[in-house]
Structure formats: C-alpha cells, structure tokens
Amino acid sequence: MRRLSLIAIMLAFSNLGFGQTGCPRVVVYGPAGIVSPGENITYTLSIVPPEKEVGLSYLWTVHSADGQVGMVRGQGTKQIEVPFSYNNTTATVEVIGLPEGCPNTASEVVGFTTHEKAFKVLTISGSIPKVSKSDVLTIRKAMAENPHSILFAYVSPGKGGSFRVKSDSLRSRLGLSPDGTKYQIILRESAKRNDQTTVWLVPFGAQYPVD
C-alpha cells in the first residue's frame, strides 16, 4: 500500500509538468511594478535551464478584455511590450523548437483593479447630437480632475438613425482636449432607441458602465 501511494504521488507531479525528462520550464512574467496609463506593459519569457534556448523561436499573441490591443513590440523575441490597457491583458507565447511532447506554451495576465466606479458626466439628446460649448467644458473639467480616466459613451442611433454618423460627430467634438490632443474615448451602440447619448468617465482600472 505504501509503495502504491508513492507511485500515485510521482504520477501527480508528472501531470503537473515536472516529470518530462529533458523538458525545460517555460514561464511568462508580467511587469514587476505598477504600470501607469501611457506606459507599456512588458512581458518576459523565461526558459529554465537557459542552455535549452538554443535554436528556439517565439510567437506571441496578446488579448485584452476590451478587444483593443495595439502594436506588439518585440515579436519573435523573449520580451515584448504592449500598450497600456484599462482591462485585463493576457499574453501567451508559443515556443517553437522544443523536443516533441514538451509543454511549449505559457501565459500571463496583467489586470488592474480599483474601488472607483464609472460616473455619468452628461446626457446629450438628438439624432445628430448638438454638443454645446458647455458640454465640451464639462468634459474637459471632468478629465482635468481625473487625468487617468477615459471617456465612454453609449450612443443611441434612434429610430432609423446611424450609429456611425452619430459616433463620428461625437468623437470629433468630445474627444478633443484644450491643447489639441485627443482624449481616449470609447463609443458603444446603445440598445435603447431614445436618441440619447450618455457620456461617462471611467477611472483607471474601473469597470465600464452598463447600458
């Protein structure tokens, strides 16, 4: 019975990936510290022991919870950088060239949490929304007080209206800061058909509002 128990323990460790003779350990590490808006997220691949790295190549894929991932810098190397995201970002690497049967993929998730919540800044009505000067000033004031936030809007196209036309109009008016640079603004089509657009401010790490 004691011998059978020992065999079972050895098999369990083998299933965890420690029993593959000659296989290196493939691990992905995220950034060591806090990543701030505007910075890149760095992912680093580690292969242990390092002498197993000879003749290998690397293929990275990156996914973000909001589906918005920019350019991946360093593709094909052991370290990549991806643009900052306010949502969980997952980087997965496939190591090509390892012995057959060896685990050759690893992933790391970088996420951000906060106790802050999105809050509504204003509501704009109309099939082609008329964004007043006071609306623009309200947006700029909110962004100045919350510099690490993004703008988020639910856009109702109304009956027979166009979400795209309405969104383009809103983006050109609401997304411009006082110095001429662009705010980050995300526009989503609302399921409601009331010709209203609700504009929210989403603090760093907060969840997007529900329509």
Tens of pLDDT along 88-102?
889 999 999 999 999
Going by the DSSP 8-state scheme, the letter that residue 27 receives in this structure is E
Q: Residues near 39 by Cβ (< 8 Å), separated by ≥ 6?
A: 84
Flag whether pLDDT at 11 surpasses 70.
no
The half-sphere exposure of 204 on its side-chain side, counting CA atoms within 13 A, is: 11
Flag whether pLDDT at 9 surpasses 80.
no
| Band (2; pLDDT cuts 50, 70, 90) | very low
CATH 2.60.40 intervals, the chain: 24-110
Considering the chain, what percentage of its residues have pLDDT values greater than 90?
A: 28
The half-sphere exposure of 28 on its side-chain side, counting CA atoms within 13 A, is: 27
Q: What would the pLDDT profile of 136-184 be if each residue is shown by its tens digit?
A: 888 888 888 887 788 898 988 877 778 888 888 777 777 665 565 667 7
The CATH class that applies to domain 24-110 reads mainly beta
| Band (47; pLDDT cuts 50, 70, 90) | very high
Flag whether pLDDT at 25 surpasses 90.
yes
- Paired tokens of 173: 């008016």
d(Cα 37, Cα 146) in Å, to the nearest integer? 12
Q: What would the pLDDT profile of 50-60 be if each residue is shown by its tens digit?
A: 888 889 999 99
Burial class of residue 22 in the structure, from the number of CB atoms within 10 Å of its CB (0-12 exposed, 13-18 middle, 19+ buried): exposed
> Which of 27-36, 66-75, 170-179, 195-204 shows the lowest mean pLDDT across its residues?
170-179
Superfamily of domain 119-202: OmpA-like domain (3.30.1330.60)
**Closest residue by Cα to residue 53 from 30, 25, 86:** 25
Q: What is the pLDDT of residue 61?
A: 93
Q: What is the pLDDT of residue 7?
A: 30
Q: Please give the single-letter amino acid code of residue 177.
A: S
d(Cα 27, Cα 107) in Å, to the nearest integer? 7
The SS3 assignment for 151 reads strand
Whether the model pTM is above 0.75 = no
Question: What average pLDDT does range 76-89 have in this prediction?
Answer: 86
